[in-house]
Amino acid sequence: MRHAPASARIMAGSADKNASLFKRIGVPLGDPAAWVELDNKRIALVRDLEMERVRQHSHADDVTCPAEHPPAAGLSADRETATAEAAAQLLRSAKVEEVYADRSLPYIFAWHLIQAEINVLYDDEYGVLDRRQKTHQELDALAAAQKVTEEVMRMMCEMIARADASADGSLKFQGEPLTSQSVRARAAIEFMKRGFSMGHGAIVATAPHVADCHHAGDGPLYTELPVVVDLFPRDDSSRYWGDCTRTVVHGQPSDVVKAMHAAVVEARLASAAALTTGNTADAVHKASENVLIAHGYPCSRGTITDEPSIQHGTGHGIGLDVHEPILLDHGGGEILEDEVFTIEPGLYGRNVGGVRVEDMLVVTAGEARNLNQLPDSLCWD
């Protein structure tokens, strides 16, 4: 009698870089590894000298290594090739005919599976859905990361607000020019002291560069011009990310900037109110966008403008990566309980600069829970 083929899933790569694989392996391995789910059995395939650590930190039912699954021709001397060969042999030995993979499967693994006559299928929710809904432990890790992010954010905003203005309006702090680069450097030092790292950098931007909403910022900061400070560090102990933006003005903000800020804050509140279980990411984004449009600001997606305009969606998921599915943007799908999102409406233009305010919120059965405590004022002195 012919037995039905085994049901299998595979995820592979470097757990140090692949957050979905790290969540399963439990150890940020720099060497190639694979995670195989085979008929309700979870198998971690890792380098032999990592097996004991993975046994301690993962939820695998079995931890094995490539040497225990050699193909007939033997394993390659190349470590990544050998891991891919062993993964294919493991599945082949179980008489697997097809395996579902996530979006991140390296081609070297797919190629060896195909050579073993195993059909590789794609599951667009594998490695996505389980990361969207956070556990209590993950929510605690994100809250801790955001708390430290806010500590450093307060320091940076207060430093800018309390700096000295030179005759030409440029700012100095402790006698040294205050620039986008120097603020980012100070933030990096403060995060490093706290066990955090800025692997993706940071944004400290003012006019005209801030008209490009993802410009990191360059050169001197000036009095009376808004400075967008966006900090998104990783807690190196938990590997979860913080993400917070505030806008600060040294001196007195203009009426134009005040109006921009009021509209952005109103948009943030509107989108936060819409961030409820069962609503859609599309609706959350439109709640924000509609407020900004009602205040007279146009959309300019993909175009940098002289006057303030809307350039991006309202936010994104966050967790083991700073940007995770789903996006709070047009076409975004249903929101799930215990998802965590940033909400970050903004307005940007070359002439007057930009304003963005960003919080991190947890979706609950009722009102979303805001993990931020920091004020959203333009003035920090």
The CATH number fitting domain 8-127, selected from 3.20.20.70, 3.40.350.10, 3.40.50.300, 3.40.50.1980: 3.40.350.10
Question: What secondary structure does DSSP assign to 118-173, as a single string?
Answer: -EEEE-TTTTTHHHHS--HHHHHHHHHHHHHHHHHHHHHHHHHHTSEE-TTSBEEE
Question: Residue ranges of the alpha helices (H) in 223-361?
Answer: 255-274, 281-294
Indicate the burial class of 315 (C-beta count within 10 angstroms; 0-12, 13-18, 19 or more): buried
Q: In this structure, are residues 12 and 32 in contact, taking their beta carbons and an 8 Å threshold? A: yes
Position 6 scores a pLDDT of 57
Per-residue confidence of the chain (381 residues) as pLDDT tens digits?
A: 334 445 799 999 999 999 999 999 999 999 999 999 998 899 999 999 999 999 999 999 999 999 999 999 999 999 999 999 999 999 999 999 999 999 999 999 999 999 999 999 999 999 999 999 999 999 999 999 999 999 999 999 999 999 999 999 999 999 999 999 999 999 999 999 999 999 999 999 999 999 999 999 999 999 999 999 999 999 999 999 999 999 999 999 999 999 999 999 999 999 999 999 999 999 999 999 999 999 999 999 999 999 999 999 999 999 999 999 999 999 999 999 999 999 999 999 999 999 999 999 999 989 999 999 999 999 987
Position 204 scores a pLDDT of 98
Does the bond joining 233 to the residue before it have cis omega, within 30 degrees of 0? Answer: no
Beta bridge partners of residue 30, listed in sequence order? none
What DSSP designation does 33 have? Answer: E
As a whole number of angstroms, the distance between CA 51 and CA 63 comes to: 6
Query: What would you report as the CA-atom Rg of the chain, rounded to the nearest whole angstrom?
Result: 24
Tally of CA atoms within 13 A in the half-sphere of 229 that contains its CB:
34
Cβ-count burial 127-161 (b if 16+ within 10 Å, e if not): bbeebbebeeebbebbbbbbbbbbebbbebbebbb
Position 7 scores a pLDDT of 76
Measured CA to CA in angstroms, residue 344 lies from 10, 141, 155, 223, 288 at distances of: 35, 21, 20, 24, 9
Q: In this structure, are residues 38 and 56 in contact, taking their beta carbons and an 8 Å threshold? A: no
What DSSP designation does 351 have? Answer: T
Which tens digit of pLDDT belongs to each residue from 162-186? 999 999 999 999 999 999 999 999 9
Q: Indicate the domain borders of the chain.
A: 8-127, 133-370
As a whole number of angstroms, the distance between CA 24 and CA 343 comes to: 28
Cβ-count burial 80-100 (b if 16+ within 10 Å, e if not): bbbbbbbbbbbbbeeebeebb
SS3 content of the chain, % helix, strand, coil (to 5): 35, 25, 45
Residue position matching structure tokens 């995060």: 191
Q: Is 202 helix (H, G, I), strand (E, B) or coil?
A: strand
**Residues 236, 234, 376, 163, CA torsion sign:** positive
Neighbour count for residue 40 (Cβ, 10 Å)? 7
Beta bridge partners of residue 14, listed in sequence order? 32
What DSSP designation does 338 have? Answer: T
Which tens digit of pLDDT belongs to each residue from 4-22? 445 799 999 999 999 999 9
Is the pTM higher than 0.85? The answer reads yes
The DSSP element (H or E) to which 205 belongs, if any, is: strand 202-205
Name the CATH superfamily, with its identifier, for domain 133-370: Creatinase/methionine aminopeptidase superfamily (3.90.230.10)
What DSSP designation does 68 have? Answer: G
Position 381 scores a pLDDT of 77
Q: Is 320 helix (H, G, I), strand (E, B) or coil?
A: coil
Q: Distance of alpha carbon 292 from its chain centroid, rounded?
A: 25
Q: Distance of alpha carbon 321 from its chain centroid, rounded?
A: 4
